[in-house]
Amino acid sequence: MAFGAKVVDKRPLFGRSRKKNGGAVRLGTRITDSDGEIKTLLTPAGKAAKYVAEISNNMCCTNDGEVKFGKNGKPKRLTGKQKAYRAGYLDARKDNAKVYNHNNK
């Protein structure tokens, strides 16, 4: 998004919850600016879903869920450090959920 470009359109992105009820979860927002550029901004739940998909497929993905390709035209694989970061992010979310649930029984 260029400096000074105005947001023209906002559309929410929803996915399914992994819980028993399977309700809709807001994963992010797709934004269109006055220059016609489209960006996807993820919520923490959307970021976690993206990381789960990346770890399970061992490939880098865009915020839209498309596979990223390297300069050689092959799909970009996750490095060990990238996997560790994503796993740590997911573990931190689990820890925070446990603390919240414990404090708000």
Q: What are the Cα distances from residue 62, in Å, to 6, 21, 47, 57, 90?
A: 23, 28, 11, 13, 18
Lowest mean pLDDT among 20-24, 54-58, 85-89: 20-24
Question: Could you tell me the sign of the dihedral formed by the alpha carbons of 37, 27, 85, 95, in that order?
Answer: positive
- Given this model, what pLDDT does residue 5 score? 83
65-81 core/surface letters (b: 16 or more CB in 10 A; e: else): eeeeeeeeeeebebeee
pLDDT in tens, 28-83: 999 999 988 999 999 999 999 999 999 999 999 999 989 999 999 999 999 999 99
